[in-house]
Amino acid sequence: MPQTYQDINFDALDPALVNAAAQNFTDSIYAPPPIEGRDIPNVGPYWVAPAPRLSPINTNSVPHPGQYQHKILNQFSSPVTPLQVLDRELPEFNESLNERLGEALAQERARPKREKPPQVGTVRTTMGTLSKNLRPANIEAAKTASSLYASCQFTPRSWGLDNYSGNVQFEYNREGELTPGKRFSTEELMAYLYQHYLHQFKTLPDGTAGFVSSGLALWVQNSPADSKSRYPVPGKSDKCRWDNCPVKDGTIHKGFFRVALDEKASWVNASDQDPFYNAGYLHLFCLEKMLDLPRLMQTIPGILRPDTRRFREGTRKMMVTRDHPEMEDIVNDFVQNAQTWESYPGIVHNGLNNSTSWYQHSLGYQLTEYHLHHQAKRVGRVREQRGGNNIGNHMGNCDVFAGAEKVKPRQAPQTPQARQVARTSASGSLTGRKRRRTSSLEDDPDDEFRPNDDFSPINSAMRPNKRPRRKSSNTPNYNV
């Protein structure tokens, strides 16, 4: 008798018995609950039932084995061919066959038809083609997505006192957001991160403070597009809160990684809270530039986290793993193995300089570099053809991006006559109302123009004129 399942000769067993045993094993096996988290404990080896080694069925010569009663019909790769032969050879069907076909046709028509889903966000362009632009649908869906979440239970209390002015540093609105539009200095943000009222410490035997836990989470995210209406105060809530942010108005553009300051992460009903309603946001670049991020992670363990949460509306706009699942491993590896600034004595890190040498050791650079090396090659080629101040040049470095924005070539101011000529040539013969309606239906300006195979530009001089030609005075009039 075999001692282990490896000693069993499955070839010598009856296939029917093997299939029955496998089915009974599948019905009775206990499936343990899934283990969440990255650190899966070692629970010992599992006994895995081997797959029965049955000889596979050769279906190369029989495309549809056993589907039709007449064996010759099973030899055709498509049922259309024998139907054409029968339709040509049989002059007419008998009454019984017609009745059977009529019943089958009635049953087929009685089945509910599967409706084709509408093309969401599809608009018609001036050339008559359909543009699969999802921006209108995304913007419209964002207006009602907030209703899926619960409102903030209470307004956080104000805290922090400025030693110089005596004013309160951190005040909140009823959505739990820091004063909208207010930007903070490096000292204020360091006090916010290191001395937050949600941090819990205990006194160690040597008299120092030991960290216990914190309700503050810094989520590393992608910058979501088409989500302006999702924030508590559109146009202000999604800005970078560092007062030394190099980007104009603190705008966190699409393609840049950001950090969300979430003070509701430890709530019991945290999943019921709107993920766009946070205390504030920062460029990941700005956070790494103004302070020693590895030292912050060592002092407050678990404060920096990759945002892999799934939300009720089903969107993945903010997830750091939106484009690449490996982004989560990059963030976690940085959290565990990042070295403090003292490990790089030859690099200046403080927030008052514009040095870019430190950026190559940052988390933002690692995420951006991985994204560029693993995106579709077609996207990279289009970006290179367009040129400009794109992510391939600035690599997520806000200093480089802001510097390139300042030196953009600008056209000289035109005279009123030149502006009128430019508007007339751009609009063509369209009237104002028709031109506005047409421009609103154009494709996204960022989309690549792909002309059809039969597309050929037409010279305006060769275009036929529909206006009838005026009679010349030299033409003789024969009706006189």
Average pLDDT over residues 157-162: 87
pLDDT digits (tens, 9 = 90+) for 192-232: 999 999 999 888 888 888 888 899 999 999 999 888 888 99
CA distance 127 to 262: 47
Average pLDDT over residues 445-465: 39
CA distance 106 to 41: 59
Cβ pair 228, 135 in contact under 8 A:
no
CA distance 166 to 184: 16
Q: Given this model, what pLDDT does residue 433 score?
A: 47
pLDDT class for 271, splitting at 50, 70, 90?
confident
Residue 20 has pLDDT above 50, yes or no: yes
Average pLDDT over residues 69-80: 77
Distances (CA, A) of 246 to 207, 252, 286, 348: 41, 11, 9, 18
Sign (positive/negative) of CA torsion 341, 345, 348, 350?
positive
pLDDT class for 440, splitting at 50, 70, 90?
very low
Which tops the pLDDT comparison, 80 or 416? 80
CA distance 172 to 159: 10
pLDDT digits (tens, 9 = 90+) for 337-387: 988 888 776 665 554 344 557 888 899 999 999 999 998 889 888 988 888
Which tops the pLDDT comparison, 460 or 399? 399
Residue 41 has pLDDT above 60, yes or no: no
Domain ranges of the chain: 154-406
Average pLDDT over residues 138-166: 80
pLDDT digits (tens, 9 = 90+) for 273-299: 899 999 999 999 999 999 999 999 999
CA distance 396 to 78: 55
CA distance 267 to 351: 33
CA distance 318 to 310: 9
% of the chain with per-residue pLDDT over 70: 63
As a whole number, the mean pLDDT across the chain is 73
Both tokens of residue 98?
């017609």
Give percent helix, percent strand, percent coil of the chain, each to the nearest 5. 35, 10, 55
Per-position DSSP letters for 373-432, written without gaps between them: HHS-HHHHHHHHHH-SS-HHHHTT-HHHHHHHHHT---PPPPPHHHHHHHHHHHHTT--H
The neighbour count for residue 393, using CB atoms within 10 Å, is 14
pLDDT digits (tens, 9 = 90+) for 81-120: 888 888 888 878 888 888 888 888 888 888 776 555 444 4
Its pTM stands at 0.60
Q: Given this model, what pLDDT does residue 118 score?
A: 47
